[in-house]
Amino acid sequence: MSVSSNSMRRALAFLGMVVLALSAVALGPAGKARAAANVAVELGYADDLRANPANFPTPWNGSPGVVFNGCTGSCSFDGGAIRFINNTGIQVHVDYVKVHFGTCTFDLWNKNVPLDPGQSLIDTQTISGPSGGCPADGSFDTSDVGPNGANWSGHCDQSGVTPVVEFSVDGQPGSVTDSGQILNTKGVDGASCGMGNESQQWAPAGSVPCPGSTLALSPATQTDAVGSSAKVTAKLANSCGDPLQGAKIDFAVAGGPNAGATGSAVTDVNGNASFSYSGAVTGTDVVGSFTTNPAGTITSNTVKVVWVKRTPTLTIDGASATGDYNDPATVSGTLTDSAGPIAGASVTFTLNGAETCTGTTAANGSVSCSLTPGEAAGSYPLAASYAGSATDDPAGATGTFVVTREETTIVYTGSAHAANGRPYTLSGSLKEDGATPIAGRTVTFTLGSGASAQSCTGTTDASGDASCTLPSVNQPNAATVPATAVFAGDAYYVPASASLSGGVAFTTMTGKAFGLSSSGLVGITPTPLAGPVSTTVPGTSNPPCVATISGLINAATLCADVSTAISPNSSTANASVQHVGIGVLGLPAIQIGAVTSTSHTECGGGTGDATVASITVGGIAVPVSVHPGPNTTVNVLGVKLILNEQVHTDTATDHVLTVNAVHVVVPGLLDTVVASSTSDIHGCF
């Protein structure tokens, strides 16, 4: 037969079941016709007397899904074989099978054989061993069947017999013609005519003989990451390339890190069977496959599976991380590979090539750790790195870390008291978040405000404290003035400011003085009155002297003044009267000569003095010293005279001294003070 006619015959063989389908359409319901159309018919020849595994029909008895109508047990095979494959989705029944060699008919097999989807039925000799001719004993040595059942054993001349397979599926009869003479080995006794082994691999009914087979394993080489799955596929086909369906293929890893791994699968309608397995370590596996039949084993080529480390993916969470300078900040990321999250791995984060921290990944691959930025405010590179493992390559990621200026707090710690003309130290404490001292920063301190503000600067020490001293305070008159500490901020820290609550209280000088005052029978308001004053700055209160006072009490040349000073802070009051006469009905006449009083007070206390030229009461001269001792008391004719009367009122911070040159007291009738000076100072420190 020519090549072209052989090719045509094989093409027609694939349409072998069309005959069955057409007859089913003609003879039965549409459903049965569709089922029958998917039942394939294949032909082969089994010879294990002269064993050749590649040629022996595969699959055979014992293969998964094979229903076998033939000799079982210790059998030798030398006979034709017919195979029905149920590729429908439902169960079908092979009602009967008959094979005709001219007038010789073989009707050996079970009737009404059920085939589930994917199963196949093999009909072959039902007794062991060879025979010749057309016996009815269960032999099926179809290579030795000649015309009309003649024994064709030893014949090398063409018998001219073309076998016909008659069958019925689900009540739908059909037949196929073995035009390639597969069943009768091309019409001659193949064993005697140069074939040696008579086995013919399965081929579609109507095909030319395709005696051999190949088992090809692919791909030749593949590369897979450890932890993933490798897949190899074995294709079993006859020597014409027709797929051999339903054969059990065994797979084995013969060498490499996964040596000993095995598996099996059954070839599908395309002759393919696949094996998948996973690898846990790197290396190269050598994988092979094979299938067995009564004649031996069909072995495939070997292929290589190269296991390599997985390529992990490391990411830094967020578009950018951020944190304050010198504050711990959390950086985080995720580490995964093709197998999923990587747990228990060390990941190191590095900020700007300087600060680092290392964290361990959790079960979901997340990782975080804390680092402390030492950079000025700005954006810096953030890198994450994973060193890799036995199963994973190293990995890295980059991102951006934004350093922000650290929060600061400053507290004013200077004194709450000051005095003009004296030095004053301003101080404060600068810290991060109110806790960690900040060293080496300039703090500007200011006492007062506006045009009169006085400022100086100090640098924080290791404790965050800074101070500076104004050598001489010069503030306008006010009981309190503000005091502030200001840190202007820099590339690392945000600005901060603070002020003393309530301001700085200043030392205040007060005082008053007058020439004469009286109450009782004669009332005279303090005349002339200097003050009262209250000031923090130097000043003077000196009203004009009063030349005379007329009436029951007369006086001449009355003067008073109060002055304040700084460096040191002091208040000084002075009063003088040239002459006083008291002529009140019912009282003895009183004449007082020239008198003076002075009172001077500093934060250390007050001092005072008085001078009295002369005093007479009812014409009686009162003996007095020009400088009477403090609080000298004289009683004459019912009149009480207190000379150089000094009244001190002192506390830790305040001092008051009043000096009256002469104090005239007539109980219940008259109270007259001559030349009174009061000097006060408040807020000493």
User: How far apart are alpha carbons 533 and 509 in whole angstroms?
Assistant: 8
Largest Cα–Cα distance in the chain? Answer: 195
Closest listed residue to residue 624, CA positions, set 603, 653, 595: 595
CATH ID of 313-404, from 3.30.750.24, 1.10.357.10, 2.60.40.10, 3.40.50.2300? 2.60.40.10
Dihedral of alpha carbons 495, 501, 502, 506, sign: negative
Q: Judge whether 570 and 600 are in contact, CB under 8 Å.
A: yes
Looking at residue 171, its pLDDT comes to 96
- What phi and psi values does residue 477 have, to the nearest 5 degrees? -60, 115
User: How far apart are alpha carbons 370 and 377 in whole angstroms?
Assistant: 18
Helix segments in 108-219, DSSP class H: none
The residues, ordered by sequence, that sit 6+ positions from 5 with a Cβ below 8 Å of its Cβ are: none
Looking at residue 12, its pLDDT comes to 43
Domain ranges of the chain: 3-204, 213-308, 313-404, 408-506, 508-682
User: How far apart are alpha carbons 45 and 61 in whole angstroms?
Assistant: 14
Looking at residue 319, its pLDDT comes to 64
Q: 213-308: what CATH class?
A: mainly beta
The residues, ordered by sequence, that sit 6+ positions from 685 with a Cβ below 8 Å of its Cβ are: 415, 417, 419, 507, 603, 653
Q: Which residues of the chain have pLDDT under 50?
A: 1-35
- Angle, helices 30-37 vs 16-27, to 10°: value is 170
- Which helix (H) or strand (E) segment is 23 a member of? helix 16-27
Is 313-404's fold the same as 408-506's? yes
> Which CATH number describes the domain made up of 408-506?
2.60.40.10
**Strands 39-47, 200-204: parallel, antiparallel or unpaired by DSSP?**
antiparallel
User: How far apart are alpha carbons 38 and 354 in whole angstroms?
Assistant: 73
Place of tokens 């395309």: 270
User: How far apart are alpha carbons 647 and 657 in whole angstroms?
Assistant: 6
Which of helix, strand or coil describes residue 110? coil
Closest listed residue to residue 129, CA positions, set 193, 48, 211, 43: 48
Looking at residue 481, its pLDDT comes to 97
Q: Judge whether 84 and 35 are in contact, CB under 8 Å.
A: no
User: How far apart are alpha carbons 25 and 29 in whole angstroms?
Assistant: 7
Looking at residue 226, its pLDDT comes to 93
Q: Judge whether 513 and 577 are in contact, CB under 8 Å.
A: no
Q: Judge whether 512 and 532 are in contact, CB under 8 Å.
A: yes
Integer Rg of the chain from CA = 64
